[in-house]
């Protein structure tokens, strides 16, 4: 891992250049080479996906990993796939996003008060990163949270993101008992560091198409995040 950067922009440069996980890099490169038929005319990003948002953010949305034909194609978190199509309209309604549709890095989307990142920065096969890959990416989360000087609330999108935040808390020296932090949609915790954590089901098609996660449920999470962050 390279030296700690002085800004989130500099950190993103380091993330994009990361080559720590050969399996993930090979997978993303092959997807970008072959491409899905619907996106045959796209030049896929195919690299680790940088984070996105407002450097002064009080709220962090922490996801799992880029989608193979979403962020791995567009180069921006939750952009260009079903999860993003569900997320950004809610962020817009909650006052975090400038508009409800996210299509590409050049669509003019701006975030206010929110930063979006993930515990893994490359699309993993089957959406399942290995323990080693999660460990390799962990320092990026540590550096990112350290650079988000105004951060108050972390919305964890899915159980793996929730576990990733707890692991971050332990790495920074907090003595926490994992059994005291149970993942459940809408669950709230105050971590020893002072950060507020809100757990949410991930906005995957598996959850949204089955009704496990509905738009009102998701909106309430980000509405609550605004309240806890003092943005309302």
- Domain containing residue 147: CATH number: 3.40.470.10
Q: Give domain status of residue 134, yes or no.
A: yes
pLDDT 10s digits, 185-217 = 999 999 999 999 999 999 999 999 999 999 999
- Per the listing, tokens 């996660």 go with 213
Q: Give domain status of residue 179, yes or no.
A: yes
What does the pLDDT read at residue 134? Answer: 97
Q: Which residues pair with 107 in a beta bridge?
A: none
> Is residue 170 within 8 Å of 176, Cβ to Cβ?
yes
pLDDT 10s digits, 218-230 = 999 999 999 999 9
Average pLDDT of 158-169?
97
Q: Give domain status of residue 2, yes or no.
A: no
Share of the chain above pLDDT 90, in %: 93
Q: Give domain status of residue 38, yes or no.
A: yes
Q: Say if residue 3's pLDDT is above 80.
A: no
Q: How many domains does the chain have?
A: 1
What does the pLDDT read at residue 4? Answer: 77
Average pLDDT of 163-191?
95
- The domain containing residue 183 runs over which residues? 8-229
> Is residue 110 within 8 Å of 116, Cβ to Cβ?
no
Average pLDDT of 12-35?
97
Measure Cα distances from 215 to 47, 101, 227 in Å.
30, 15, 18
Q: Give domain status of residue 3, yes or no.
A: no
Q: Give domain status of residue 143, yes or no.
A: yes
Q: Give domain status of residue 213, yes or no.
A: yes
What does the pLDDT read at residue 5? Answer: 87
What does the pLDDT read at residue 2? Answer: 62
Average pLDDT of 12-30?
97
Sheet holding 188-190, edge to edge: 52-53, 114-118, 59-63, 153-157, 196-200, 188-190
Q: Give domain status of residue 1, yes or no.
A: no
Average pLDDT of 116-144?
97
Average pLDDT of 144-153?
98
Cα dihedral 209, 215, 216, 219 sign:
positive
């Amino acid at each position: 891992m390279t030296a700690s950067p002085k800004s989130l922009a500099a950190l993103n440069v380091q993330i994009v250049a990361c080559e720590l996980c050969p399996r993930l890099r090979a997978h993303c490169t092959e997807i970008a080479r072959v491409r899905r038929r619907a996106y045959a005319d796209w030049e896929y990003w195919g690299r680790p996906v940088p984070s996105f948002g407002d450097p002064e953010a009080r709220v962090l949305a922490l996801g799992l990993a880029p989608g193979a034909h979403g962020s791995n194609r567009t180069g921006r978190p939750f952009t260009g796939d079903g999860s993003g199509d569900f997320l950004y309209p809610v962020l817009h309604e909650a006052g975090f996003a400038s508009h409800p549709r996210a299509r590409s890095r050049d669509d003019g989307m701006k975030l206010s008060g929110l930063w979006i990142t993930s515990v893994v920065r490359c699309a993993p096969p089957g959406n399942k990163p290995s323990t080693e890959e999660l460990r390799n990416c962990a320092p990026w989360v540590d550096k990112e949270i350290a650079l988000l000087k105004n951060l108050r609330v972390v919305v964890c999108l899915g159980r793996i993101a929730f576990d990733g935040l707890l692991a971050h808390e332990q790495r920074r020296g907090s003595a926490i008992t994992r059994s005291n932090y149970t993942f459940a949609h809408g669950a709230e915790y105050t971590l020893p560091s002072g950060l507020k954590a809100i757990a949410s089901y991930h906005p995957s098609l598996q959850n949204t198409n089955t009704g496990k996660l509905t738009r009102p449920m998701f909106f309430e999470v980000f509405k609550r995040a605004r309240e806890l962050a003092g943005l309302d």
